[in-house]
Structure 1
Amino acid sequence: MTEVVKVHGLQKKFGKFQALKDVTFTVEPGEVVGFIGPNGAGKSTTIRTLLGIIKRDAGNVEIFGKDVWKDSLDIHKRISYVPGDVSLWGSLTGGEIIDLFLKLHGGGDKQKRDYLIKRFELDPKKKAKGYSKGNRQKVGLIAALSVDSDLYIFDEPTSGLDPLMEAIFQEEVEKIKESGKSILLSSHILSEVERLADKVVIIRQGEIVETGTLDDLRHLARSTVTLETEGDVAEMNKVNGVFDFKQTDNQATFSADNQYLNEILMEASKLGVKKFESVPPTLEDLFMRHYEG
């Protein structure tokens, strides 16, 4: 089956500033792709190009096998999008705006709309000009999640939401994922991406620096090992693949290259292992690896 989203060699300049340099990634059918990077890395520029809001300078960008610039109207009928800062009509109520969004999209599930309004604890009768940022985000999320789309694009969707509402959003996205829909999720909340994403795309200064499943990417980073032995644990500091060694009595904590874990465990066994814990790197560890300094 063809890719739902296909970005190849995407480039975009604003004046002399090169915002995107050869950006390449895909979103497969039924896949959740976490698109991460700090502010200014090029996430929103990439997403606006996908939506046909801005025109690329070079490269090939397709959704459902169609060109995002030429065929944007056809593409938009099959996607739902929530930006990081939802703008609303101040004189309309939240409920009226949700219904307008659903009408503009061509329908929507009104039962699901009512269910989501309750779940997100939104007052639909309140005028939008009285909404906080978090409530504006809720309006966008409820409208997007009430529509049965083939692709959902979320650009920092939980910005302004409290942790409880973030958790509810994650649960609703998991339901979409289970129904086989494709999702592109740009988020600064790395635990959110770690929970939801099948694949991670890391962008830095307009370039893709890493792409793969979390398991794939974890092979590139070091695990954290906690070891307690009967013999002198200081001997482990000499073993290949051991870094950042710290010792307290006969317990040590260190970073370990995954390719050396078997050798490390064999050497530890010679000292009489009382405790051995190996924790794989988190998405935050992988992310910081690209952004430290």
Structure 2
Amino acid sequence: MDVVDVRDLTKSFGRFTALDGVNFRVRKGEVFGFIGPNGAGKSTTIRVMLGILKATKGDVKLFGKDAWKEAVEIHKRIAYVPGDVNLWPNLTGGEIIDLFMKLRSTKDRNKSKDLIRKFGLDPTKKCRTYSKGNRQKVALIAAFSSDAELYILDEPTSGLDPLVEQVFQECIMELKNNEKSILLSSHFLSEVEKLCDKVGIIKQGKIIESGSLDELRHLTRTHILVKTKQSISSLNELQGIYNIEETNQELRFQVDTEQLDNVISYISQFGILKLESNPPTLEDIFMRHYENKIAEVMKESGGLLNATE
């Protein structure tokens, strides 16, 4: 049985359709990346899963239970971290972590102490003094201290510095190794690529791509900027090269990640003076790869596109 089973989920607010036929599944021990630009429908989907919003149409089940009708039972088995955490201002971070642990009947205090150390949180400060990043730390520590079966994380690394993001990634891999299920909502493709087994891409309330990372390998193109002593010849003939542009004797292009080693080896013979590489943003991917495709697919499907496994 799937831990999460979302089928034909539609959510409307008056005449506005926020979600239109969303389908995806999350299995036990699987990290599912739920990605898309801001406003795509990620948080609305998660609120329906949590029983905060009622679906207009479709079925949403967690552990085989109806997300709306059996929300109380479901919440006993999940941990949730929102993208913008609001905390009680007069309580300390440590007091809030202890409170959530008591609510979940979690007895292992050593785990939370270890996480507090790893995340670099000062638990003695009042929450009103915390930055956005520290508020996220409190929520993440409380979630990771619990022994949940499903972790629903909605933009959880928002406001975290790179060192703390590394700790977050280590915690996700530990949960995965312990056969926990994770739904990770994010608009950072690089983060999803490192952690997730499967990915569902949502835009304007519709799933436009889904599958394993191997199946979606075409999404992982790296942006390259290079300047060389000699002019690079025949670059467009190499496999996995896209969108070559030349500006001020510098070349910009995209390359499939699996071809990166071959491309760097090739251009190095021309004498590299400058080399920069950046992973694509999800917005770049939509603009460069899906803008026309979405229009074509939507036209062919009559306005409804269901995701496949």
TM tier relative to shorter chain: 0.7 to 0.9
Residue in 1 aligned with 2:19? 20
- Aligned-partner SS, 2:51: coil
Separation in structure 2 between the aligned mates of residue 101 and residue 124 of structure 1, nearest angstrom: 14
Q: Which residue among 281, 284, 294 is the counterpart of 1:288?
A: 284
- Could you state the TM-score of these two structures normalised by the residue count of structure 2? 0.76
The structural deviation recorded for 1:192 is 1.1
Question: Structure 1 residues 194-203 or 238-247, which shifts more?
Answer: 238-247
Q: Equivalent residue for 1:50?
A: 49
**Segment of structure 1 superposing worse, 3-12 or 211-220:** 211-220
Secondary structure of the corresponding residue to residue 174 of structure 1 = helix
**Conserved in 1, the CA contact under 8 Å of 2:219 and 2:285?**
no
Equivalence for 2:37: 38
Q: CA deviation at 1:239?
A: 10
Q: Which ranges of structure 2 fall in alignment gaps of 5 or more residues?
A: 227-231, 269-277, 292-309
Show the counterpart of 1:170.
169
- Provide the rounded CA distance (Å) in 1 between the counterparts of 2:121 and 2:62: 32
Which residue is 1:268 aligned to? none
Match in the other structure for 1:85: 84
CA gap 1:206/1:276 in 2 versus in 1, 3 angstroms: same
User: Could you say what secondary structure the match of 2:54 adopts?
Assistant: coil
Deviation at 1:136, TM superposition (A): 0.8
Classify 1:98/1:222 alpha carbon distance in 2 versus 1 (closer, same or farther; 3 Å).
closer
1:15 Cα deviation after fit: 1.7
1:40/1:108 Cα in 2 relative to 1: closer, same or farther (>3 Å)? farther
* Structure 1: runs of 5 or more not aligned: 227-231, 266-273
**In the alignment, structure 1 residue 65 sits paired with structure 2 residue 64:** yes
Summarize the Cα distance change of 1:254–1:127 in structure 2 as closer, same or farther, 3 Å threshold.
Answer: closer
Equivalent-residue separation in structure 1 for 2:89 and 2:244 (angstroms): 58
Matches within 5 A, 1:77-116: 77-116=76-115
CA 1:122–1:58: 2 relative to 1, 3 Å: same
Aligned counterparts, 1:93-242, within 5 A: 93-218=92-217, 234=234
In 2, the alpha carbon distance for the partners of 1:57 and 1:104 equals 31
Structure label with greater radius of gyration:
1
State the shift of 1:189 in Å: 2.2
Aligned partners of 1:35 and 1:203 also within 8 Å: yes
Counterpart code for 2:60 = V
Task: Please give the alpha-carbon distance, in whole angstroms, between the structure 2 residues aligned to 1:149 and 1:99.
Answer: 16
- Relative distance call for 1:41 and 1:107 in structure 2 (3 A) is same
Amino acid at match of 1:178: N
Alpha carbons of 1:163 and 1:286: their partners in 2 closer, same or farther (altered >3 Å)? closer
Give the direction of change, closer, same or farther, for the CA distance of 1:242–1:34 in structure 2 (3 Å limit): closer
Asked if structure 1 preserves the Cα contact closer than 8 Å seen for 2:29 and 2:181, the reply is: yes
CA contact (8 A) 2:188 2:281 kept: no
**Quick one: distance in 2 between partners of 1:20 and 1:26?**
16
Give the number of aligned pairs.
268
TM-superposed CA distance for 1:152, in Å, is 0.4
Flag the 1:6–1:291 CA change in 2: closer, same or farther, 3 A: farther
Q: Check the 8 A contact 2:18/2:41 in 1, yes or no.
A: yes
Kindly indicate whether the alpha-carbon contact (under 8 Å) linking 1:137 and 1:157 is maintained by their aligned counterparts in 2: yes
- For 2:242 and 2:133, the matched residues in 1 are separated by 43
1:125 counterpart letter in structure 2: T
Report 1:235-254 matches (<5 A): 244=243
Task: Measure, in 2, the Cα distance between the counterparts of 1:170 and 1:240.
Answer: 32
Asked if structure 1 preserves the Cα contact closer than 8 Å seen for 2:106 and 2:147, the reply is no
Give CA-to-partner distance per residue, 1:55-76, whole Å, 9 cap, x none.
1100010000110011111111
Tell me the SS of whatever aligns to 1:91.
coil
Q: 1:91 to 1:40 in 2, by over 3 A?
A: same
Relative to structure 1, the CA distance from residue 110 to residue 204 in structure 2 (aligned partners, 3 Å threshold; closer, same or farther) is same
Give deviations 1:128-167, integer Å, cap 9, x for gaps.
1111111111110000000011100100111111111111
Deviation of the 1:27 alpha carbon: 0.4
Residue 270 of structure 1: aligned partner: none
